[in-house]
C-alpha cells in the first residue's frame, strides 16, 4: 500500500517503524492530449539520515480555447528531477545536499508567448530551457 508522504519528515509514512515511502502519480488531460507522470521516493533508515528522490515528466500537445480555437505555442515537454539528502550530526546541526534539474525543450514556438505583436518581427524559434540548482547547507 502506498501512503502520502508527510511534509514534516520526508521519509515517514506516518507509522512507527516505517523507513521508506513511495508515491507514483499518472495523469492525462484531454485538452492537448497531455500526459504526465511523477514519482517520489523517500527513505529514512534512522533519525540521522533522510533521502528524497523525485522524477517528473509531462508531454502536452497544442491546446484549444473554449471555442475550439488552437492556442499556438502551448505544446511542450518537460522533465524534472530532484535528489535531496540530509544527515543530522547531532540534535542541533545537520548537513543537507540538494540537486534539482528542470528541462523544457521547445521547438518551433512563438518567440514571445505573452505578446503576439512582437511575433510579427521575430516569428518562431527553437529554444531549450534548462534550470539546475544545487546547494549544500549546514544548519
pLDDT of residue 116 exceeding 80? no
Break the chain into its structural domains and give their ranges.
20-138
DSSP, collapsed to helix, strand or coil, labels residue 31 as coil
pLDDT of residue 130 exceeding 90? yes
- CA-closest candidate to residue 52, choices 23, 27, 25: 23
Task: Quote the pLDDT of residue 4.
Answer: 43
Task: Quote the pLDDT of residue 3.
Answer: 40
Segment 85-107 mean pLDDT: 93
Segment 1-17 mean pLDDT: 47
Segment 96-106 mean pLDDT: 94
What's the grid cell of residue 126?
527553437
Ramachandran area for residue 45 (φ above 0: left; ψ -120 to 50: alpha; else beta): alpha
Task: Quote the pLDDT of residue 2.
Answer: 38
Amino acid at each position: 500500500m502506498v501512503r502520502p508522504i508527510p511534509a514534516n519528515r520526508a521519509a515517514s509514512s506516518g507509522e512507527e517503524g516505517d523507513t521508506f515511502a513511495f508515491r507514483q502519480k499518472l495523469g492525462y488531460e484531454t485538452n492537448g492530449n497531455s500526459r504526465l507522470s511523477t514519482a517520489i521516493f523517500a527513505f529514512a533508515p534512522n533519525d540521522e539520515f533522510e533521502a528524497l528522490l523525485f522524477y517528473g515528466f509531462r508531454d502536452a500537445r497544442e491546446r484549444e480555447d473554449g471555442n475550439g480555437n488552437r492556442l499556438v505555442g502551448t505544446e511542450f515537454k518537460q522533465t524534472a528531477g530532484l535528489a535531496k539528502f540530509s544527515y543530522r550530526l547531532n540534535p542541533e546541526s545537520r548537513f543537507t545536499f540538494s540537486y534539482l534539474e528542470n528541462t523544457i525543450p521547445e521547438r518551433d514556438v512563438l518567440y514571445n508567448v505573452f505578446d503576439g505583436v512582437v511575433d510579427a518581427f521575430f516569428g518562431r524559434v527553437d529554444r531549450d530551457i534548462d534550470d539546475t540548482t544545487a546547494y549544500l547547507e549546514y544548519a
